[in-house]
Amino acid sequence: MGASGVFWEIDTQSMRAYPGYTRRRTPWWEVEAFCLNVNEAKNLAPAMLTSERVEMFGNDRIKAIYANMPLEDFQQEYEAEYVDETTAWITWEEIKQNQDADLLCGIGAGRGNDLSRINAAIASLKQWLAEKKVETVFSGGMDIGRTRNTSELYLVGESTTKTYPLRLALTMDNTEFNDQESVIMNVIANLPVKKLLIDQTGIGRNLAENASKKFPTKVEGVDFTNATKALWAGNTKMVMQQRKAPIPIDRELAYQIHSIKKLITPSKNVVFDTERNEKHHADKFWAHALAISAALEPKMTVQFGTFRM
């Protein structure tokens, strides 16, 4: 399964600590059935390239296996490596270096018309703002879903040190559009949002249009195309590589960020998307990517919004 699943989590402790386990790796060069000189290979092989150690220490059996397998498959099956980072757009290491267990982030999820936890998360961020514990300017992104996927609304702070910590993560599951619109209104009315980019592709168009009419200088509808997704995914990877996108230690968010792949279509177009067998469409990643991209836009004067229901 590559770098995913419970086995990988326990073995690498990349998501959290798993004490009480003994971990041992046994690559092919420590196995006499494959290696010509195990004692020497234990010292030298780890620092060599796969091709070099197979040539120097491998017997005919392992050389035949190596010659008939893709390199990544061979490394995973015979060298105890988690190799799917070759296709993941943002690696586990890049995710881990941005995770902050102490990050102040309002996390709220609602199903149907139950928005109590969402409203509580917004209120928490408003309180932290009043206590001067967080940034005074926020930028946001919203990926729209209805029945098959969730809608995600994320806000990142804009710090004076050019970092963009995640400050609000709202999930709406099977929530009617009128209720989703009320959440947007609540966020903009109570928080100093500079810019909110909303997915207006398909079912999200009316929601994005209504919000942009109420707050024309703050809300902008955007279309998901191969070109725009490449821009947003590139912005997110750049900021995360620079360790400027602090996120909470959240298992689902981390997996969705890691699920994005850079794919090349038969017509040579670059596409950023998840595998078809994923249960999600990386809604959390795209909401986060939109928020970061909104923050990277030129600075604007920020005022609290007002609205009429």
Q: Give per-residue pLDDT as tens, 33-75.
A: 999 999 999 999 999 999 999 999 999 999 999 888 777 778 8
pLDDT at 83: 66
Please tell me which residue, 129 or 5, carries the higher pLDDT value. 129
Output phi, psi for 206, to 5 deg: -65, -40
Separation of alpha carbons 238 and 254, rounded Å: 17
Least confident interval from 79-83, 192-196, 225-229, 278-282: 278-282
Separation of alpha carbons 93 and 9, rounded Å: 13
Count up the domains in the chain and report the number. Answer: 2
Partners of 106 in beta bridges: 168
- How large a percentage of the chain has pLDDT more than 90? 68
Average of pLDDT values for 247-269? 87
Boundary (domain end) residue, out of 54, 82, 110: 82
Quick one: 135 and 64 in the same domain? no
Q: In terms of DSSP bridges, do strands 261-264 and 270-273 run parallel, antiparallel, or are they unpaired? A: antiparallel
pLDDT at 303: 43
- How large a percentage of the chain has pLDDT more than 70? 91
Quick one: 215 and 141 in the same domain? yes
Asked if the structure places residue 304 within a domain, the reply is: no
Distances in Å between the alpha carbon of 37 and those of 52, 70, 83, 150, 234?
14, 25, 26, 55, 46
Structure tokens that stand for 182 in this block: 């009320």
Other CB atoms within 10 A of residue 96 CB: 13
- What pTM was computed for the model? 0.74
Please tell me which residue, 197 or 300, carries the higher pLDDT value. 197
CATH code, domain carrying 125: 3.30.420.240
Residue with tokens 């990877």: 237
Report yes or no: 92 and 259 within 8 Å, Cβ to Cβ.
no
Quick one: 126 and 269 in the same domain? yes
Domain that holds residue 204: 93-295
Separation of alpha carbons 280 and 169, rounded Å: 16
Asked if the structure places residue 27 within a domain, the reply is: yes
pLDDT above 90 for 269: no
Asked if the structure places residue 67 within a domain, the reply is: yes
